[in-house]
Chains A and B, each alone.
Chain A
Amino acid sequence: MAITAGIDAGAKNTKVVILREDVVVGRGTNPTGFALSEAVEKAFVLALEEAGITRDQVDRIVATGAGRKAVHLAQGNVTEVTADARGANRLMPSARTVIDVGAEEGRGISIDERGVLVDSAVNEKCAAGAGAFTEAMARALEIPLEDIGELSLQSTKSIDMNAQCTVFAESELVTLVHSNTATADIARSVHDAISSRITSMVRRVGLEPEVMLIGGVGYNVGFKKSLEEDLGMKVTVPEYPEYVTALGAAIIAKEQLGGA
Chain B
Amino acid sequence: MRANYGYTDGSGEWYITIDTNKCDGCRACEEVCPEGCFAIEVDDYDDEVAMVTEDQRKKIKYSCGPCKPVGKEHVEPCHEACPHGAIEHSW
Interface size on A, residues (CB 8 A): 23
Contact A119 B71 (CB under 8 A): yes
Contact A126 B68 (CB under 8 A): no
CB of B11 within 8 Å of the partner chain = yes
**Which residues of A are at the interface with B, using a C-beta cutoff of 8 A?**
118-121, 123-129, 162-165, 196-197, 200-201, 203-206
The B contact surface, by secondary structure, is: loop
How far is B54's CA from A162's CA once the two chains are assembled, in angstroms?
A: 11
How far is B70's CA from A118's CA once the two chains are assembled, in angstroms?
A: 10
20 contacts between A and B (CB under 8 A): A120-B70, A121-B70, A123-B11, A125-B12, A126-B9, A126-B10, A126-B11, A127-B10, A162-B55, A162-B58, A164-B58, A200-B66, A201-B62, A204-B65, A204-B66, A204-B68, A204-B69, A205-B69, A205-B71, A206-B69
Question: A200: which of B10, B55, B65 is its contact (CB, 8 Å)?
Answer: B65
Closest chain A CB from B52 CB (angstroms): 14
How far is B91's CA from A121's CA once the two chains are assembled, in angstroms?
A: 14
Contact A197 B70 (CB under 8 A): no
Query: Which 10 pairs from chain A and chain B are nearest by CB?
Result: A125-B10, A200-B65, A126-B10, A200-B62, A126-B11, A164-B58, A203-B66, A119-B70, A119-B71, A125-B11
How far is B59's CA from A224's CA once the two chains are assembled, in angstroms?
A: 22
Question: A205: which of B10, B55, B70 is its contact (CB, 8 Å)?
Answer: B70
**Which residues of B are at the interface with A, using a C-beta cutoff of 8 A?**
9-12, 55, 58-59, 62-63, 65-66, 68-71
CB contact under 8 A between A200 and B68, given known A124-B11, A127-B10, A165-B9: no
Q: Which of B12, B63, B65, B66 counts the most chain A CB atoms within 10 A?
A: B65
Chain A residues near B68 (CB, 8 Å)? Answer: 204
How far is B58's CA from A163's CA once the two chains are assembled, in angstroms?
A: 8
CB contact under 8 A between A200 and B63, given known A119-B70, A119-B71, A205-B70: yes
How far is B35's CA from A203's CA once the two chains are assembled, in angstroms?
A: 14
Closest chain B CB from A143 CB (angstroms): 26
Chain A residues near B9 (CB, 8 Å)? Answer: 125-126, 128, 165
Contact A196 B10 (CB under 8 A): no
Chain B residues near A123 (CB, 8 Å)? Answer: 11
Contact A129 B65 (CB under 8 A): no
